[in-house]
Amino acid sequence: MAHAYFDHASAAPLLPEAVEAMQPFLTDHFGNPSSIHHYGEAPRAAIEHARKQVAAFIGTEPNRIVFTSSATESSNLAVKGIALARQDNGRHIVVSTIEHSSVSNSARALEKQGFEVSVVPVDRHGLVSSDGLDRAIRDDTVLVTIQHANNEIGTIQPIADLAAVCHRRGTLLHVDGTAAVGRIPVDVTALAVDAYAFPAQSFYGPKGVAALYLKQGVRPRSLIDGGIQEKGKRAGTENVPGIVGMGMAAEVAAARLPKWADTIGALGHRLWNEVPKRIEHIIPTGHATERLPGHVSFCVEFVEGEAMLLFLEDEGFAVASGSACTQKTLKASPVLLAIGLHHGVAQSSLMLTLGKDNNMSEVDSFLAKLPPIVERLRAMSPLYAKFRRGDDPYAAPEHSSEGGH
């Protein structure tokens, strides 16, 4: 049975060039980059070379890049670190309703330390409006955090416009770029953001390494006590092989991104258009045009997303039903609820994120296999039975007032 991997938002295969670049630092160049003796020279030089590669990929200078272990750590450092460093100016932060848990949970942690958090809503397509953001910002707002693109519904935010609102109101903007980097061109200087978090795995680099861009003058409080690595912003011995792999992946991605985007864009466009033609009661999620190339997301009414994933796995397709960080909870996606979908509909989500190695044959095979799977699951669905009877499938059940609890 052929296998097709359509879940690149959760993990992507490692570029051969990155593997080759990492290899010497797993064997020969094992020294600590902080060591003064010659064993530290090659690792230290390799980190700084990778810093140049990563900085060039997102349009900034090398000294603006801080290496971390993950985008989650990068966002924690940005959200908590910047808020704590600027708390003398105010203790209010703003987040959107569809942020990744690394941001929303960081905001909740700050609330326990006396900060106030305001949540700015999104529209039906998952977009934050400039007016909505302007209304949420107060005189004591020290940080706004809004993702560049949503990994579940693919919507790309107008970051440059939102950054302009933040700066006009005298506050800083942190952006989670996990879903965007490696799929669309990113120039943090042109976007005028103050902090930008992203992992290597978003562009076929290794897991366990990421970066945080910090604009000149932005100095978050360090969250990890220890040494003076990463100019005192992130203590701990550096993951040299991972950083080297991230640098090489950034260099390769910078050269190949236009071709990759065209390829996966065409595949995603076919899926976006064809699935609703072949299956009734499909609800596309996210913006139709302002979305990531190769990202396709929709809800299949009257069918549970987890059931579709299992049936598709049996047919050789690896897909997702929301964020990899929340899928195992089996709860409705907060992102889908935030864009106004009913809880029952939100549990029927399917998300496909295509990669550079996918092809049209795999897409056509998926389009052939999905309809009979949906038909089979709907035949077993009590929600679909209620719908066919003319009842509201999502209406709350009536409870008797007699007996029981």
> Which residues does the annotation mark as catalytic?
325
Say which residues have a Cβ less than 8 Å from residue 6's Cβ, sequence separation at least 6: 317, 318, 319, 320, 352, 353, 354, 358, 362, 366
User: How far, in Å, CA of 371 to CA of 281, rounded?
Assistant: 12
Q: Between the CA of residue 92 and those of 83, 100, 113, 254, what are the distances in Å?
A: 8, 19, 11, 37
Give backbone dihedrals phi and psi of 155, rounded to 5 degrees, phi first. Answer: -70, 135
Angle of the 305-314 helix axis to the 360-379 helix axis, nearest 10: 130
Distance (Å, rounded) from C-alpha 29 to C-alpha 6? 36
Measured in degrees and rounded to the nearest 5, phi and psi for residue 59 equal: 75, 45
What distance lies between CA 138 and its chain's CA centroid?
27
Residues 6+ apart with CB under 8 A from 232: 222
Tell me the H-state helices in 124-239: 130-136, 159-168, 188-191
| CA 110 remoteness from chain centre | 21
